[in-house]
C-alpha cells in the first residue's frame, strides 16, 4: 500500500511540474534603485545599399537648390490627396554616393552627423555656398521582428539609436508564448557573414551589456517560442510535453493502482 501511495504521489508531482506557470516578466532580477552598465551607445552608420537624403539650405535658395535632389509627388488613393518625398541617394557597393557638383563622396561607415559635417566642409572649402545648412535623414533604415510577437514585420526607424526593447515595443510586445530568456538578434557583418546574439530579457546585466542591445539597420530580431507553443505544433498536442499526456498517464496509473489494490485486498 505504501509503494502504491508513493507511486501515485510521484505521478501527481510530475503532472504539477508540467503545468507550472512560466516566468513571463522582463528584467525581473533588478532591485529598486539598482544601477546597471549599458553597452556602448553606437550611432547608426551608413552601409552600402542604404538610402540617404541630404538637404542643403542657405539664404540664397536658388544656389542651394543646385545641390538638392528633386522632390517627387505621390498621389494617395483615388482622391486629390498627395504626399511629397525627397529623392534619396543609394550608397553603392564601394560606399560612395555621387553628389551634385561635389562629385563622388565616400560616406560608408559614417554617422548622420559626420556626413553633415563632411558635406558642409566641402561646400565651404570650395566656396560654393557661404552659409550652408546641411540636414541628413535616413532613407530606408529598418529592422525585422519575427517569431512570438503580436505584430511581426519590418519596421522603419529614423533615430540614431534604437534598442531591442524599442523593436519589441514596435512589434506589440512578445506574446505569452515567447521565451523571454532566448531572444535572438541576427546581424549581417558583410556579404557572406552573420553574427547571432542570444539575449535574456529577464537578466538586466546580460541584456544591457550585450552588443545587440542597440540594434543596427537590417538586424533580425527573432523571439523563440516556448515549450507551450511547441506542444501546439504537434497534432492534438499529444506528446510527452503536453498536459493532456500527463493527465492520461495519471489516469492510467490511478486505474492500475486501483486494480492492484483490489487484487491484493482479496
What pLDDT, in 10s, does the model give residues 131-159?
999 999 998 899 999 999 999 999 999 89
Report the pLDDT value the prediction gives residue 81, as an integer from 0 to 100. Answer: 57
Pairing of strands 142-147, 220-225: parallel
**Count of Cβ atoms closer than 10 Å to residue 10 Cβ:** 11
Fold of 142-228: Outer membrane lipoprotein wza fold like (3.10.560)
State the average pLDDT over residues 63-80: 68
Report the pLDDT value the prediction gives residue 14, as an integer from 0 to 100. Answer: 53
Q: Is the predicted pLDDT of residue 172 greater than 50, yes or no? A: yes
Dump strand ranges (E) for 11-70: 51-57
**234 and 242 Cβ atoms separated by less than 8 Å:** yes
**Which of the four pLDDT bands, split at 50, 70 and 90, describes residue 74?**
very low
Q: Is the predicted pLDDT of residue 251 greater than 80, yes or no? A: no
36's grid cell: 546597471
What percent of the chain has pLDDT above 70?
A: 70
Greatest Cα pair distance in the chain: 110
State the average pLDDT over residues 206-233: 86
Per 3-state DSSP, what percentage of the chain is helix, strand, and coil (rounded to 5)?
30, 25, 40
What percent of the chain has pLDDT above 90?
A: 49
Fold of 51-138: wza like fold (3.30.1950)
Report the pLDDT value the prediction gives residue 33, as an integer from 0 to 100. Answer: 76
Report the pLDDT value the prediction gives residue 190, as an integer from 0 to 100. Answer: 72
Residues of the chain with CATH 3.10.560.10: 142-228
Residue whose C-alpha cell is 540594434: 215
Amino acid at each position: 500500500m505504501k509503494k502504491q501511495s508513493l507511486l501515485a504521489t510521484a505521478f501527481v508531482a510530475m503532472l504539477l511540474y508540467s503545468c507550472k506557470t512560466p516566468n513571463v516578466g522582463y528584467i525581473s532580477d533588478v532591485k529598486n534603485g539598482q544601477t546597471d552598465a549599458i553597452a556602448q551607445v553606437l550611432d547608426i552608420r551608413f552601409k552600402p545599399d542604404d538610402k540617404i537624403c541630404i538637404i542643403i539650405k542657405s539664404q540664397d535658395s536658388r544656389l542651394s537648390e543646385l545641390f538638392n535632389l528633386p522632390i517627387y509627388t505621390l498621389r494617395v488613393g483615388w482622391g486629390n490627396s498627395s504626399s511629397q518625398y525627397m529623392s534619396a541617394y543609394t550608397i553603392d557597393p564601394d560606399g560612395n554616393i555621387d553628389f551634385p557638383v561635389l562629385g563622388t563622396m565616400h560616406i560608408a561607415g559614417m554617422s548622420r552627423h559626420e556626413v553633415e559635417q563632411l558635406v558642409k566642409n566641402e561646400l565651404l572649402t570650395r566656396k560654393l555656398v557661404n552659409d550652408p545648412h546641411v540636414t541628413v535623414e535616413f532613407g530606408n533604415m529598418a529592422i525585422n521582428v519575427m517569431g512570438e510577437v503580436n505584430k511581426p514585420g519590418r519596421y522603419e526607424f529614423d533615430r540614431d539609436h534604437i534598442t531591442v526593447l524599442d523593436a519589441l515595443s514596435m512589434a506589440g510586445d512578445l506574446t505569452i508564448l515567447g521565451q523571454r530568456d532566448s531572444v535572438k538578434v541576427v546581424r549581417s557583418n558583410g556579404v557572406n557573414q552573420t553574427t547571432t546574439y542570444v539575449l535574456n530579457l529577464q537578466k538586466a546585466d546580460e541584456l544591457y551589456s550585450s552588443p545587440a542591445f542597440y540594434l543596427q539597420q537590417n538586424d533580425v530580431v527573432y523571439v523563440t517560442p516556448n515549450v507551450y507553443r511547441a506542444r501546439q505544433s504537434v497534432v492534438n498536442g499529444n506528446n510527452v510535453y503536453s498536459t493532456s499526456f500527463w493527465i492520461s498517464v495519471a489516469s492510467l496509473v490511478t486505474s492500475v493502482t486501483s486494480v492492484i489494490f483490489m487484487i491484493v485486498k482479496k
